[in-house]
Structure 1
Amino acid sequence: METVRIRNPGMYWDIAANLHFPPNFDASKHYPAVVSNHPISSCKEQTSGNIYGAALAKAGFVVIVPDASFQGGSGGEPRWIEDPEQRVKDYRDVIDYLQSLPYVDADRIGILGICGGGGYSIKTAIIDKRIKALVSITGVNFGRLMREGFSNFDPVGALEAMAVQRSAENAGASQRIDIFLPASVEQGKAAGITDIDVLEATDYYRNRCPAEGSGTRMLFSHAAPAMAWDAFAFAETLLTQPMMVVVGDKPGGFGAYRDGMEIYGRAASKNKQMVVVEGWSHYDLYDHPVPTGVALERVVPFLVQHLGEAAVSRVTKPAA
């Protein structure tokens, strides 16, 4: 694995990313590549890297796992902004970088995302046809979630509060940084939280896979763009690439099961597959060996089918 920093023309900060290489990697060959994208407020060292990134690299793909701008090891100020349009731009900049690598086949690039990263990956595939295959793992439409549960089903009230907070911060007030999760599962239950997604997210981020770059937080005053954003807009006409949607059948408050069914139905893709991993939840699909194994048993052949066999000899054109 290699950590790289990416800055394209027009960018004001670097994107930090981990490159995962296949076994017996040979830089003289061409490889298909996959961009593996982390959930909201996660980081490249968690599920997108240590589970899906590692598994896809083992299967023969070059995999790049970026940190979102304003989060993890990537640059951008102020910190902990969750901006869907910036996230889509990040992914497109990462594809630019991949296409510059001599050992990556620029015509064989796929994208995979988990949770909010799944929704962001869907939106990226809608507008960027360099992406030849799309995988959403328990993907969530973050704009829908912001308008519903994350705003207590009062999006206009939330926008008004964000406006007040941003004005206050511009006048010198302290930042309001919302923490998505309780400090522990026990504290969550003591506070009356019963939703499976919140409690299992707390277990994942606080116990199973804590990481320094994972914030599980959001700068409230800069969250307004997410309220008016929709990961699935125009999917009926513009989402044409082969697509696989993976969800667990134990639904929780973040809505991945619902969103997965919706995008599967709406996408214009002629080749689309729905994988329901029975008996498992949203956060089981982050790192539990059984459901992630079931997912990867379907994901790897799907990506091989649509991106081609792993390494091919690089053809050098003769000099004119």
Structure 2
Amino acid sequence: MSLIVLVTKYYHVANESHDWMGQPDDINTVIFKKKPNIYVIQPDGYANFSELKKGHYKFDNSKFESFLVGENFKLYNDFRSNYVPTVYSNSSIFGMKHHYYKAQSNEENETYNFRQDIIGENPVLDILKANNYKNHLFLQEPYFILGGIGLGYDYCNINANEVSYFSNGFDMDKNIKQEFESHIVNNKSSNNFYFIEKIKPWHISNNKRQSLGRDKEREAYLNRLVEVNTWLIDMVTIINKNDPNSLIVIIADHGGFVGYDYELESRTKNLDRDLVHSVFTSALAIKWPDNDIPDYDNRLKSSVNLFRIMFSYLSNNDSYLQNLQEDKSYLIIEEGAPNGVYEVIDDIGEVVFKSYEK
């Protein structure tokens, strides 16, 4: 029986198509006119600054917001992800396209190698390489590199031989800061892209057995958020000290699910605005080089369009904005409605519930 399951999964992986990442225009040949070093920092599950003030979060994050503004970051309120959890969200970000989860259930989607879409070949890394960027991957945990995935980055701070064959992806806790500053200093002669992923503040507990209850889960999440604020301040300070004219993006992969008792509850049909947005709300703050903010940055509404807008800015070519993806958010529902993929937030941020079928 195990052999049958293994052969089935291998078949899916071997025959997996990456056609969904095909672009509708010629952005793959984009030529950058500006080439700052680019730092994309991802604090896992960090809710958007506007959502933290309301809904189920109700948290005063003004001290950290003031730090960012003082460092010339622009904060993008109401920004959100298009998918959850991390691998589905990030594959859409680096694919610059919607994938609609590929399959109609979480179980089926586990057979597809979404990690490969994030750290292997994808349009974002291809475009950066074509513009002579070196790509660097800094991870706290080895989650993205499990399974011997072919790495599309020039450097990763976690070596494959450090990762146990039996690793679940969350058993390492690498100190990113320790190596990060010297890496910046040693690569000053090249154009560089850094993707930095921190597994904090994460989200509430995954299942009912682990849950501390709604209120305590909220408290634990916010305590982790305060911790990661300190880490983010340190990372931004390191970058600005060594690379003051860089492009720095702080972007979360999804929200913290605060308001639920446990994360899996989100897979039940729900039309409550605050609960649905708690799942997808995502922090976005950008420090544009020389405070040169493009006049179309108001189109930064959801994570699928981050790099398309960024590449438009770097190339001084806003024609690429004609092919932005819809700012819709999708969820796999397992209870309260027929199992499948549903649009749960529409293009203008309103909660909806519409079945999606390929």
TM over 0.5: no
Q: Greater relative contact order (Cα 8 A, min sep 6): structure 1 or 2?
A: 2
